[in-house]
């Protein structure tokens, strides 16, 4: 019986050590998420997204509006998301009425995006993207690039790790060579 207890106690000690190590690793990885990724985002449907979960991936962020001349860019954004999602690309839309071309509430915006352009990439709750009331992510994007959105469909590419962030005018298409040239080197190979 003594040998069983000793072996049993060793097993408990080993399991406890592994759990402690895993817990420490988890805490350290959670603590390592800061800066631009330290964001809790809310979708049009009220779901939460933790931007920390995407810090190892390229992210394309775009402020959107349902009644803008650039609104057809939703097609290219959704096309990129569906084509490159499995390789690690994250596309995030931020509806905003900063330029007076967005619908009045989150439900209307969500219905428009889904029914008109079959958007499946995450669309955040309506918010400001310019000025002193800009949402926290946009405040950081503006600080990192020195460029605030000048109009709807202004784009930002956040490369993995968040050390490099690039801004693109509304007229630059999401699937342009400029944007894809920044994103593609960070996509995982197709299996």
Is residue 52 part of the annotated active site? The answer reads no
Q: Which residues contact 45 (CB under 8 A, 6 or more apart)?
A: 106, 110
Q: Of 33, 52, 68, 113, which is the active-site residue? A: 68
5-14 burial code (b ≥16 CB/10 A, e <16): eeeeeeeeee
Please report the pLDDT score of residue 191 as a whole number.
Answer: 77
Please report the pLDDT score of residue 8 as a whole number.
Answer: 54
Question: What is the band of 7 on the pLDDT scale with cuts at 50, 70, 90?
Answer: low
Q: Does domain 35-186 have CATH number 3.40.30.10?
A: yes
Question: What is the band of 187 on the pLDDT scale with cuts at 50, 70, 90?
Answer: very high
Q: pTM here?
A: 0.83
Please report the pLDDT score of residue 33 as a whole number.
Answer: 85
For the chain, the distance separating the N- and C-terminal CA atoms, rounded to the nearest angstrom, is 52
Please report the pLDDT score of residue 9 as a whole number.
Answer: 57
Is the pLDDT score of 86 beyond 50?
A: yes
| Chain-centroid distance, C-alpha 57 | 9
Query: What average pLDDT does the segment 70-77 reach?
Result: 97
pLDDT tens sequence across 9-65: 555 445 544 444 444 333 334 447 888 999 999 999 999 999 999 999 999 999 999
CB-CB contact of 38 with 52 (8 Å): yes
SS3 at position 60: strand
Q: How far apart are CA 17 and CA 11, in angstroms?
A: 10
For helices 73-84 and 106-117, angle between their N-to-C axes, nearest 10 degrees: 80
Please report the pLDDT score of residue 34 as a whole number.
Answer: 82
> Beta strand 59-64 with 90-95: parallel, antiparallel or unpaired?
parallel
Q: How far apart are CA 191 and CA 8, in angstroms?
A: 43
pLDDT tens sequence across 106-152: 999 999 999 999 999 999 999 999 999 999 999 999 999 999 999 99
In the chain, where the domains are located? 1-32, 35-186
Please report the pLDDT score of residue 25 as a whole number.
Answer: 36
Q: How far apart are CA 15 and CA 153, in angstroms?
A: 51
């Amino acid at each position: 019986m003594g040998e069983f207890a000793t072996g049993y106690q060793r097993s408990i000690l080993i399991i406890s050590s592994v759990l402690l190590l895993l817990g420490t690793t988890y805490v350290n990885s959670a603590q390592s998420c800061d800066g631009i990724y330290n964001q809790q985002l809310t979708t049009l449907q009220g779901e939460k997204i933790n931007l920390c979960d995407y810090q190892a991936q390229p992210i394309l962020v775009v402020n959107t509006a349902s009644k803008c001349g650039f609104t057809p860019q939703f097609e290219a954004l959704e096309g990129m998301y569906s084509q490159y999602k499995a390789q690690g690309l994250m596309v995030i839309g931020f509806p905003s009425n900063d330029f007076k071309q967005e619908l009045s509430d989150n439900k209307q915006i969500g219905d428009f995006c889904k029914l008109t352009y079959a958007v499946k990439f995450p669309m955040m709750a309506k918010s400001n993207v310019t000025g002193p009331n800009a949402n926290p992510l946009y405040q950081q994007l503006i600080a990192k690039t020195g460029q605030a959105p000048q109009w709807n469909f202004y784009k930002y590419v956040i490369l993995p790790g968040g050390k490099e962030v690039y801004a693109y005018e509304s007229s630059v298409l999401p699937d342009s060579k400029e944007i894809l040239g920044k994103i593609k080197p960070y996509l995982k190979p197709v299996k």
